[in-house]
Chain A
Amino acid sequence: MSDLLQSLNPGTPPDARSYVERAEIDASLRAPVLLFFGTGVAWLLLGSLLGVLAAFKMSFPHLLDSADWLTFGRVRPAHLNIMVYGWASAVGIGVGIWLMARLCRVAPRHRGLLIGAGIAWNLGVLAGTIGILAGQSRSIEWLEFPGWATPILFVAYALIGVWGVIMFRFRRPGHVYVSQWYLLAAFLWFPWLYATANTLLIWQPVQGSVVGAVNWWYGHNVLGLWFTPIGLASAYYMIPKVLGRPIHSYYLSILGFWSLALFYSWNGMHHLIGGPFPAWMISASVVASVMMFIPVITVAINHHATMRGHFHYLKWSPTLRFTVVGAMTYTIVSLQGSLMAIPSLNNLTHFTDYTIGHAHLGLYGFFTMTMFGAMYYIVPRLVGWEWPSAAMIRWHFWLAASGVALMVGSLTLGGFLQGLELNDPQVAFLTSLKTVAPFRFVRACSGILLSAAHLVFAVLFIRMLLRQGGPRAEATLLSPPEIPAV
């Protein structure tokens, strides 16, 4: 127990005691969480810029091609890796450590470990990005950072994983909330996935088609066993917390967690349908992908039933608005993914822009929107200040939502038409490229909307850190209870 808590008068009412307890946890985590959030937002801006540039290069191939480091083959993997490791992972770690400390209900230990890990993590992303832009990309999807950059990321992450396990080990006795299950799993799964993939692809590299198997085992599991648990952990905390009512069914939440843990790790091989792999590998993956209906539907029922009768809250809670859109997108993208694993449909979508749309729906529509929601809840509690502008929050939401809808819509429709033509032997390959070209231009334009959303959010975030805007007695922040003098 902390000094401040111990110093409280024994007659301190329970609400004041729990308020002080939470305030202490927030104060302890202020520096590390804001480090992950702040650097994450910076990477988000850079990643958006590179993403828009790469997207417009699909329509205008000679755009900014005078410098080697601005060519498509470097800009595109730089965008992807910055978004995955610089933005999504960093903000996911920030949300994850805050939630873990809140749910363990103990003041965080070893705060320096987290700060050191945050600095090292960003150095690793910076080194990897420079490596890619300098032409040292490894050409392995999701793992393009050069081999000399990945150990930095691994060590940084290992520190975070160790911190998570220590927090869980010394948690206050009681029930382990479902978000803690998801977070603990994510903290343990990611270093294991990353180390295994790097061992098999870099340090003791496998050869031939097995590279593809390892690559997609890793690529898909990063989504399902790293980003998904963090996103769901956040949604399972934020939705009931903002509504002020518990989740509809704890049974369903537990069923959803354990079925995800059992089925997801087999999913990656469905990316290799039609490839030179043993049939049983593909079949097992397709079956596991369809089995994912179980965790996805349980989560969907649970979140919807919790929200039922309270959807009007979306009008006035930024946290809820972003989180619920993210949670609904989780259902859509997951069911879509399971269907795409069925070979007859996979024949149509494989090697088309449809898959790119699916990936953006998952990492942006679900994960990023959920993380924005979490940040709108967490940052005021860390900074002790209110978001400075409701209008900017609304602009952020509508730009992000319309941007991702336009992006996914154009890629999905374009990819569908592309798939039909690729499967028709009477249609020349070049024709399929001409068909998809206008959709790719629309996708590039949607990137401008998303970049504008990120710019608005970055300005909001900076104004928040500078404590701009007038102080407010009550908005996002709940009024503190009166604490009796010691």
Chain B
Amino acid sequence: MEAGVILLLLGLGLLSGSALLAFFWAVNDGQLENLEQAPEVIFDASEPMGEPGDCFPDARSREARARASSNDSPR
């Protein structure tokens, strides 16, 4: 039983330790800098900000999306 507890605690330590290691890598790699621009990386020229990307496949929804697309402006 003691060996089991030790293994379990070791596992917990490794899990938390791996998170800490990844955190330090992120800091050193500059991943926590320039966070204002970071959320925009999922958009590109053909899927730009301000253009909704999904709707129900019927005419009413398509029109609603077109209206939203023309009314919304990128942040």
Do the two chains belong together in a single complex? Answer: yes
Interfacial residues, chain A to chain B (CB-CB below 8 A): 13-19, 22, 103, 174-179, 185, 188-189, 192, 196, 199-200, 206-210, 213-214, 217, 225, 237, 240-247, 250-251, 253-254, 258, 261-262, 265-266, 312-313, 315-320, 376-377, 386-390, 393-394, 469, 472, 474-476, 478, 480-481
Contact indicator A254/B56 (Cβ below 8 Å): no
Which residue of the partner chain A has the closest CB to B23?
A: A258
Report whether A15 and B62 are in contact in the complex, using a CB–CB cutoff of 8 Å: no
A-B contact count (CB 8 A): 177
B56 touches A316 (CB 8 A): yes
Give the residue of A192, A258, A316 whose beta carbon is less than 8 angstroms from that of B55.
Answer: A316
B 19-74 contacts with A by CB, 8 A: 19-20, 22-23, 26, 31-32, 34-58, 60-62, 64-65, 68-69, 72, 74
Given A176-B31, A316-B64, does the pair A208, B1 have CB atoms closer than 8 Å? yes
Q: Which listed residue, B31, B45, B64, touches A14 by the CB 8 Å rule?
A: B45
Chain B nearest Cβ from A299, distance in angstroms? 14
In the complex, are the beta carbons of B69 and A244 less than 8 A apart? yes
The A interface is mostly helix, strand or loop, or mixed, namely helix
Q: Is the CB of A177 within 8 A of B38?
A: yes
Once A196-B11, A207-B4 are accepted as A-B contacts, the answer to whether A246 and B54 lie under 8 Å apart by CB is no
* Closest Cβ–Cβ distance, residue A95 to chain B (whole Å): 15
Q: Give bound CA distance, A304 to B55, whole Å.
A: 20
**In the bound complex, do residue B15 and residue A475 qualify as a contact, i.e. CB atoms below 8 Å apart?**
no
With known contacts A200-B4, A246-B39, A393–B56 Cβ distance under 8 A: yes
| Nearest CB in chain B to that of A266: its residue | B12
Q: Are A390 and B47 in contact (CB under 8 A)?
A: no
Nearest CB in chain A: distance from B58 CB, A: 4
Enumerate chain B residues within 8 angstroms of A240, measured Cβ to Cβ.
39, 42
CB <8 Å contact, B65 and A237: no
6 extra interface residue pairs, beta carbon distance < 8 Å, beyond A192-B11, A244-B43: A206-B3, A213-B4, A241-B54, A244-B51, A261-B23, A317-B52
The residue in chain A whose Cβ has the minimal distance to the Cβ of B12 is: A265
Query: Do A262 and B31 have beta carbons less than 8 Å apart?
Result: no
Is A317 touching B56 in the complex (CB atoms < 8 A)?
yes
Report the minimum CB–CB distance from B22 to chain A (whole Å): 8
Known contacts A207-B4, A474-B62, A475-B62: does B54 contact A245 (CB below 8 Å)? no
- A192 and chain B: residue at smallest CB distance: B15
B60 → chain A closest CB, angstroms: 7
Report yes or no: A18 in contact with B42, Cβ–Cβ below 8 A: no
Across the two chains, which residue of chain B brings its CB closest to A474?
B62
Interface residues of B (CB under 8 A from A): 1, 3-5, 7-8, 11-12, 14-16, 18-20, 22-23, 26, 31-32, 34-58, 60-62, 64-65, 68-69, 72, 74-75
The answer to whether B8 and A476 have CB atoms under 8 Å apart is no
Q: How far is the CA of A247 from the CA of B39 in the complex (A)?
A: 6
Given A245-B75, A250-B38, A265-B16, A18 and B46 touching (CB < 8 A)?
Answer: yes
A13 in contact with B18 (CB, 8 Å): no
Q: Is there an interface contact between B49 and A246, defined as CB atoms closer than 8 Å? A: yes
Q: Is the CB of B4 within 8 A of A214?
A: yes
Q: Are A177 and B42 also in contact (CB < 8 A) when A210-B5, A319-B54 are?
A: yes
Among the listed B12, B23, B36, B57, which residue makes an inter-chain contact with A472, where contact means beta carbons less than 8 Å apart? B57
CB distance from A196 to the nearest CB of B (A): 5
Contact of B50 among A179, A208, A244 (CB under 8 A): A244
Measured CA separation A418–B53 after assembly (Å): 46
Q: Which of A175, A206, A213, A388 is B38 in contact with, Cβ under 8 Å?
A: A175
B61–A478 contact, CB under 8 A? no
A251 touches B19 (CB 8 A): no
Give the residues in chain B near A316, CB-CB below 8 Å: 55-56, 60-61, 64-65
